[in-house]
Chains A and B, each alone.
Chain A
Amino acid sequence: MDIIQHILVYITVAISAFYLINKFLLPKSVWAGKKNNSKACGQDDCGCH
């Protein structure tokens, strides 16, 4: 039982730490990749004109 509780604590702490690092330290581009602007307004196939 004690081991399970320890494992649960480590998992919870790891998830929390990852969440905070991801939110405040990692740049957004790490997960988003390069933004695809090909459909942005003003481009050839944007549909605005």
Chain B
Amino acid sequence: MSKQINVALIGNPNTGKTSVFNQLTGLNQKVGNYPGITVEKKEGICKLPRGVKAHILDLPGTYSLNTTSLDESVAVELLLNKNDKDHPDVAIVVSDVENLKRNLLLFTQIKDLKIPTILVINMADRMVRKGISIDIELLEQKLNSKIALVSTRKETGIDRLRNLIADYKNLPKSQNVDISVIAPDYFERLKEAFPKEDVYKLWLVITQDVNFMPLEKTLIKDTSSFTTKSKSELKRLQQKETILRYQFINGILKETYKIDANAAKGFRATLDKVLTHKVFGYLIFFLILLTIFQAIYGWSEYPMDLIDGFFASATEWVKDTLPPGVFTNLIAEGILAGIGGIVIFIPQIAFLFLFIALLEETGYMSRVVFLMDRIMRPFGLSGKSVVPLISGTACAIPAVMATRTIENWKERLITILVTPFTTCSARLPVYLIIIALVIPEGSFLGLSYKALTLMSLYLMGFGAAILSAVILNKILKIKSRSFFVVEMPNYKLPLIKNVAYTVLEKTKSFVFGAGKIILAISIVLWFLGSNGFSDEFKNAETIVAQRIKEKGFSANSEVYFENQQETLGNNLNKEAAVTQLKDLEERALSQEIASYKLEHSYMGYMGKAIEPIVRPLGYDWKIGIAVLTSFAAREVFVGTLATIYSVGNDEEETIKNRMAAEINPRTKRPLFNLASGISLLLFYAFAMQCMSTLAVVKRETNSWKWPAGQLVFMSLFAYIVALIAYQILK
């Protein structure tokens, strides 16, 4: 079998790099992290002519090899490190037909590393509309490389690109620009000191500020025949290099690239004026948010009911079909209940990601970043902080990692510390189930109360992030200055394929990422809830029967009787009514035994131990257990409750119904009422409750000081707010 070709896909942000990646790899792709760091690593396999295969690596977007942020340095490190298993045999530089000049800067830098390089000119379908013409043949000659004119929208040019990759050995390796002319003496000495090395590679190693071992620079400083320059001198040389490259690029484009200046510019300018307007811009953004939250509720109701019903039937099927015993109980009450508790939220999470993907694909997200910069500045944040804050609506972990694009350390640190306040998708299942239980039906101006509550929670999370940023901005004594530059990509119709990939990938990672943890926790919890050491647990049947004989049924059972009577109506004859009542009493007895056993199980004792802490918030020991376990991941909350309420329960009921039927034995009112529900919502809106985020914050800040402070502050704040809300509303 022939060796796979290693291909690095690299390019400026917003050039359609991901679309090219998707077209090359189809569904043969996976997303992970670079070893040792948490920058997202996207890779896939592409089938080439003659049965050859290529391993495609989608590198983080970068404007040049003079990196300014940590994730950009990933690209440089890979291109320089020949020992890296992913070091490319061929590099593909993806450029955008409308910004070719700027994109060619990166191309010439990569070409100068003597890596075979292919230039992809993407978005070719826009050429006619924009009045652009390119002499491809001449451009290939001038750049001494091969070019693929691609339109991912029209799916053209990809076959040529595949052929070029397969023939990569025939690509010229010559350099485009001789950078030694910017400081001949300096580069001469560099050459003398390291005669075996390529000068441009050495230059890049010297000038990279980030992610390289200090040993490298020490080695260069200590070499007696060579002394490097000061930081400011190196910066000046970098600027000279950029100017030299642009001179080269301008010269080439003058002969090969023509643009009709009168071609359509008006539409984009008009749209920008409206969407980034001081008043209308924010109004439109607000309306878009409203539509998203309304749609999350309206559209996902039907599939959610289907999933809920499916899991209830599956539980019943398992109990009826498999031989009775503890393992069957584990499958029905532990595994299925736990998985069902998370799978049910797939439709809503998929819709959320669908809207985020659409906003990004159309180019609107960059306008939001620009709009928000005005608001963010006074709070010690920048427009760039909006990207992590918006990404935080998916998950705080990549959002914290996304702060690497913020050059200013103070702004970056503040963004890292406040990002976990934004409502991540893990909070969504908790919000959705509690809102469904405690917020009444009804609407205001056509928007349901439930959708409005959900939107308020999102805004509250965002507000808490801003408020904390203000406080941190005042407290942190770090002096720094920063500038805000954002690229406004062209508006475009979203590519269905790209949107579909994003939704699929994000939903998959949500379900499988959290799913394994939830499944494991559900199994352990089921075990702890189904076993106990005390006499009460072992003699539960006798004790409960005796108690009912003396004191009658519990408040929970009384409510159960009332509900059942309402359902059955009064149309039964006397004989049928007696049989029915007997049946109901038997069911109530078995439920009371299950509940008593649960209370005296291992889990029951654990829950009772933490109950004094959570009782002032309106929670019982079962919710306490769910809050505790959801520290692993917030969405575990629903899975835990689903497991707790399933243990020993023979009824075919949905999680929501089980939770709605739960009565607080102290107040004799439903456990999930408006006061306890709002208290729970607020607790989850502000609490840290995510071990993985803490670990990422530690990694990004390189200290336990920040995540520890974050955990204490967010937990205390959440507890106090939830306490106040419950005490006012109860």
Contacts and interface: CB of A to CB of B under 8 A. Distances in A.
Partners in one complex: yes
Contacts of A6: 325-327
Nearest to A13: B527
A12 B330 contact: yes
B213 A49 contact: no
A33 interface: no
A41 B81 contact: yes
Interface in B519-537: 519-521, 523-524, 527
Contact of B517 (A4, A20, A42, A49): A20
A46 B81 contact: yes
A13 B523 contact: yes
A47 B325 contact: no
A20 B201 contact: no
B80 to A, nearest CB: 4
B523 A47 contact: no
B139 interface: no
B323 A49 contact: no
A45 B197 CA distance: 13
B475 interface: no
B652 interface: no
Contact of B80 (A2, A19, A39, A48): A48
B153 to A, nearest CB: 38
Contacts of A1: 323, 325
A35 B696 CA distance: 19
A41 B327 contact: no
B215 interface: yes
B270 interface: no
A13 B326 CA distance: 12
B713 interface: no
Contacts of B632: 20, 24
B328 A42 contact: no
A2 B527 CA distance: 16
Contacts of A19: 516, 520
Interface in B616-658: 632
B77 interface: yes
A19 B263 CA distance: 60
Nearest to B196: A49
Contacts of A49: 80, 194, 197, 201-202, 205, 216
Nearest to A45: B83
Given A1-B323, A41-B216, A46 B521 contact: no
B216 A42 contact: yes
A47 B81 contact: yes
B691 interface: yes
B691 A24 contact: yes
Contact of B87 (A4, A20, A23, A47): A47
A45 B523 CA distance: 48
Interface in A13-49: 13, 16-17, 19-20, 23-24, 35, 39-43, 45-49
B524 A17 contact: yes
A42 B197 contact: no
Interface in B53-79: 77
B326 A42 contact: no
Which of A24, A46, A47, A49 lies at the interface centre, i.e. has the most chain B CB atoms within 10 A of its CB?
Answer: A49
A16 B47 CA distance: 39
A6 B324 CA distance: 12
Nearest to A6: B326
A49 B198 CA distance: 7
A17 B330 CA distance: 15
Nearest to B523: A16
A44 to B, nearest CB: 9
B280 interface: no
B524 A39 contact: no
B205 A48 contact: yes
A41 B80 contact: yes
A20 B215 contact: no
B491 interface: no
A34 to B, nearest CB: 13
Given A9-B330, A47-B83, A49-B197, A20 B213 contact: no
B704 interface: no
Interface in B306-325: 323, 325
A39 B485 CA distance: 36
A13 B524 contact: yes
Nearest to B335: A12
B286 interface: no
Interface string B170-208: 000000000000000000000000100100011001000
A43 B330 contact: no
B669 interface: no
Nearest to A37: B213
A48 to B, nearest CB: 4
A8 B84 CA distance: 44
B202 A43 contact: no
A48 B79 CA distance: 8
Contacts of B87: 47
Of all A-B residue pairs in the complex, the 7 with the closest CB atoms, nearest first, are: A42-B213, A47-B82, A5-B325, A42-B216, A5-B327, A16-B520, A16-B523
Given A8-B327, A41-B213, A47-B84, 17 more contacts: A1-B325, A4-B327, A5-B325, A12-B523, A16-B519, A16-B523, A16-B524, A20-B520, A42-B212, A42-B213, A47-B80, A47-B81, A47-B83, A47-B87, A49-B80, A49-B201, A49-B205
